[in-house]
Amino acid sequence: MPDAKSPLKIGTRGSPLALAQAHETRDRLMAAHGLPEDAFEVVVIKTTGDDRAMIAADKPLKEIGNKGLFTKEIEEAMVDGRIDIAVHSMKDMPTEQPEGLVLDCYLPREDVRDAFVSLEYDSIMALPEGATVGTSSLRRRAQLAHVRPDLKLVEFRGNVQTRLKKLADGVAAASFLAYAGLRRLGMKDSARGPIAPEEMLPAVAQGAIGIERRMADARAAPPGGTCLPRDAGRLLRDADCRSCADRGRPALAARPDLAPRRLRGARGRALGQYRRGRRDGRTPRARSAVSGGRRVLRLALSTQHRS
């Protein structure tokens, strides 16, 4: 077990939200194992995606490296042994991982919905014609272009606090944030409210936090390891969250065995997906659209499970 002399090192990005997620992971491990806080060390790792110059320039992610921007340096630190586990927002994770690393622990999933954020307007449809909306998400841009083609869409990068400041500075009339992030930061009142998935489908695995580890590291491996205590599985191995994440992310990679048939080959497109848990008979919903918003494909699939 880790202790003050040999703490378990938890790797994370340095944004307030990333730190909140890492601290939640640490606190759950402390409770599961009865360990003191000094048995853990939160290690902040700067990723390419955190570069202030690129954030200020509001460059689209597709021009500077896409999702791996937020994970590459953290995974390199884990492969090199500088950290023991890493805490990730699953919607930022690439669909493929470096050899030797595995994702098999998840925190209980938060609210999956997007949040509408504006200082003046209550909803997407309340925005005046031609209003400027800030978002760098291809998924959000495609869905917005479909329902409100009159809106002017501008790139809008940065963490929660940076985006709220841009709104206050008048860069845009509205923007969007993951409602889960606002809730984890205790800032849900910063949004006008969550957007129903029927109006805007969230990102695959939105609201899910994954714990990555080295496959060969016995100290962090389940069962019985630090990542998954044998007698406290609910604290760090949420089955519903894992089911949604494991079955949702392959759609991004167009894996033929798990991705919906009409979404196969949809690489490079904006993909949203909302998947209900097994208690509801699991009804996955997916929407795919080209980045220009010229075409939107909606699917509603239902899978009945054997009792």
User: Which residue numbers are catalytic?
Assistant: 92
Question: From CA 166, how far away is CA 136, in angstroms rounded?
Answer: 13
Question: From CA 179, how far away is CA 240, in angstroms rounded?
Answer: 19
- Tell me the torsion sign for CA atoms 28, 33, 36, 41: negative
Q: Is 98 helix (H, G, I), strand (E, B) or coil?
A: coil
The answer to whether 179 and 104 are in contact (CB under 8 A) is no
Cα atoms in the 13 Å half-sphere on the side-chain side of 35: 23
Backbone angles phi and psi of 16, in degrees to 5: -55, -40
Question: From CA 241, how far away is CA 238, in angstroms rounded?
Answer: 5
The candidate with the shortest Cα–Cα distance to 270, out of 134, 141, 116, 112, is: 141
Question: From CA 56, how far away is CA 196, in angstroms rounded?
Answer: 30
> What is the token pair recorded at 163?
């985006």
Task: Please give the helix or strand (H or E) that residue 73 lies within, else none.
Answer: helix 72-79
